[in-house]
């Protein structure tokens, strides 16, 4: 007689939302004390928009303070920016950095280097020795200065001022300097790092300083690193689908499945609010229900790691709301959350006022939602003070709300 088929553990959407509130430090009782804790809780903070790191961290801090984020980024350097998963810039803890370097960043840096070599060859006629000579002089200049802007480096190394016209004759034609392209590659390789920005914490103009090359990090072999990173992701974002992890990391499906097998992930069934059932994965010790964290609201920034942590989002975002909350490239804007669901969006007006709009009929009908969101808006406005924040990737609702 053949054995009875094994039943996969069932995880419903309410349980997944309860985990978000607790593990992503969004419910008030679960907020953190330091910026490092906020990054660790979500594996890494999105850093493509400089403001997102501060806004995402402060949304999860018991006492929001952007100076604590600056301390971690620039004084203690306990958070490092790294071009890694999906060729996206993240800020993550230094203990995790070697794992991410091996699992995701090194292959991306290698592709960036190959692209740079071809770019200077096609556009300037430089061969690799010529590029290496300019690179060495730029790094020597940076080491001598200790810290410098891109403009200061180009003043000392004139070759960095050379430009190439990308996509000539096309509507998106652009003139790009060697300086900007080279610094991007050196940063991807870890050979330079971003220092304090010029113009305040929302600025994209950074000073640069010598860094630690990825090849010099004592990183585990790539398969071992991928399994370790998958474990960290499932701890924060699981239970979830295999495709969620593949999308978040940017790995191939083969590498994703191998990493899950190496860490011994358990197969589960994810049940949606509409009764749908989807195959998923979870850590073997994360199959039991977790208590709901109690009612909570959050105002999360554009590109927040919680909102951008999954490919399949129906269990926390009504697909009908997507056109107003995302830009055309798939970047999410500022969002309003209630008990693990996105229910609206928010923006800051030129006078500093934080305004929001609830898109969910259910949320609009619940007076408790408006009260809780108003309290979060006041909390956000209090720590922002005189600062004005405009998301780098603007969405329809954010534009509507921010209009004076």
Please give the pLDDT value at position 168: 86
Question: Strand pairing partners for 357?
Answer: 345
DSSP state of 345: E
Residue 387 is predicted with a pLDDT of 95
Q: What DSSP assignment string belongs to 265-310?
A: PEEEEEEPTTS-EEEEEE-TT--S------S-EEEE-TT-TTTTS-
**Amino acid 7: pLDDT:** 82
Question: pLDDT digit string (tens) for 170-225?
Answer: 888 899 999 999 999 999 999 999 999 988 899 988 899 999 999 888 999 999 99
Determine the 3-state secondary structure of 168 from DSSP: coil
Q: Encode 369-396: b = buried (16+ Cβ within 10 Å), e = exposed.
A: beebbeebbebbeebbeeeebebebbbe
CB 234 within 8 A of CB 211: no
**Counting every residue, how long is the chain?**
404
221 vs 209: CA distance, rounded Å: 28
Compute the C-alpha angle 17/6/1, nearest 5°.
Answer: 170
Cβ-Cβ contacts under 8 Å for 156 (sequence gap 6 or more): 141, 145
Sheet architecture: strand order including 277-282: 10-12, 266-271, 277-282
Q: What is the distance between the alpha carbons of residues 235 and 229, in angstroms, rounded to a whole number?
A: 10
pLDDT of res. 3: 46
pLDDT < 50: residue spans in the chain: 1-5
Annotation: CATH topology of 97-216: Arc Repressor Mutant, subunit A (1.10.10)
Maximum distance among all alpha carbons in the chain? Answer: 80
Q: Where are the domains of the chain?
A: 1-32+223-404, 97-216
State both tokens at 320: 């009908």
8 Å CB contact between 297 and 380 = no
187-190 contacts at long range (C-beta below 8 A, 24 or more positions apart): 187/81, 187/83, 187/211, 188/83, 188/105, 188/108, 188/109, 188/112, 188/113, 189/109, 189/112, 189/113, 189/213, 189/214, 189/215, 190/82, 190/101, 190/105, 190/109, 190/214, 190/216, 190/217
CB-count exposure of residue 289 (10 Å: 0-12, 13-18, 19+): exposed
- SS3 category, 20: helix
Query: By the 8 A CB rule, do 315 and 13 touch?
Result: yes
Q: How many CB atoms lie within 10 A of CB 10?
A: 12
Contacts of 68 (CB under 8 A, 6+ apart): 34, 35, 57, 61
Instruction: Write out the H or E segment, with its range, that includes residue 357.
Output: strand 354-358
**Do the beta carbons of residue 174 and residue 165 sit within 8 Å?**
yes
Pairing verdict, β 10-12 and 266-271: parallel
Q: Which residue has the tokens 């100076």?
A: 67
Sheet bearing 89-93, strands edge to edge: 45-46, 89-93, 79-83
Quote the pLDDT of residue 171.
85
pLDDT at position 6, please?
65
What is the spatial distance between Cα 70 and Cα 268, in angstroms, rounded to a whole number? 40
Looking at residue 167, its pLDDT comes to: 87
Sign for the CA dihedral angle at 207, 210, 216, 219 comes to negative
Work out the number of other CB atoms within 10 angstroms of the CB of residue 252.
10
The position carrying tokens 């971003």 is 194
């Amino acid at each position: 007689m053949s054995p009875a088929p094994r039943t996969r553990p069932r995880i419903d959407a309410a349980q997944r939302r309860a985990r978000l509130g607790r593990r992503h430090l969004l419910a008030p009782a679960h907020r953190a004390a330091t910026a490092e804790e906020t990054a660790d809780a979500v594996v890494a903070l999105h850093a493509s928009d400089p403001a997102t790191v501060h806004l995402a961290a402060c949304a999860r801090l018991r006492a929001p303070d952007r100076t604590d984020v600056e301390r971690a980024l620039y004084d203690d350097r306990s958070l490092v920016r790294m071009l890694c998963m999906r060729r996206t810039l993240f800020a993550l803890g230094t203990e995790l950095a070697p794992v991410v370097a091996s699992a995701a960043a090194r292959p991306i840096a290698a592709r960036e280097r190959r692209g740079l070599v071809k770019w200077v060859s096609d556009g300037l006629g430089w061969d690799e020795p010529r590029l290496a000579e300019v690179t060495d002089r730029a790094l020597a200049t940076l080491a001598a200065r200790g810290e410098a802007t891109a403009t200061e480096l180009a003043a000392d190394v004139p070759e960095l001022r050379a430009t190439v016209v990308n996509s000539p004759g096309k509507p998106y034609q652009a003139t790009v300097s060697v300086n900007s392209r080279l610094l991007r590659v050196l940063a991807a390789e870890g050979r330079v790092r971003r220092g304090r920005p010029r113009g305040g914490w929302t600025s994209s103009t950074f000073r640069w300083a010598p860094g630690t090359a990825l090849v010099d990090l004592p990183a585990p072999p790539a398969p071992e690193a991928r399994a370790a990173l998958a474990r960290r992701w499932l701890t924060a974002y699981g239970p979830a689908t295999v495709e969620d992890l593949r999308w978040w990391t940017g790995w191939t499906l083969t590498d994703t499945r191998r990493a899950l097998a190496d860490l011994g992930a358990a197969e589960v069934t994810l049940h949606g609010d509409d009764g749908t059932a989807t195959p998923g994965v979870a850590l073997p010790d994360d199959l039991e229900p977790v208590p709901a964290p109690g009612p909570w609201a959050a105002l999360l920034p554009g590109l927040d790691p919680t909102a951008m942590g999954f490919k399949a989002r129906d269990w926390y975002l009504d697909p009908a709301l997507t056109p107003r909350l995302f830009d055309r490239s798939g970047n999410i804007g500022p969002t309003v959350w209630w008990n693990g669901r996105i229910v609206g969006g928010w923006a800051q007006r030129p006078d500093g006022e934080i305004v929001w709009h609830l898109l969910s009929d259910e949320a609009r009908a619940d007076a408790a939602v408006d009260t809780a969101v108003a309290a979060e808006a006041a909390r956000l406005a209090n720590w922002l003070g005189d600062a004005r924040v405009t998301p780098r990737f603007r969405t329809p609702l954010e534009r509507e709300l921010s209009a004076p």
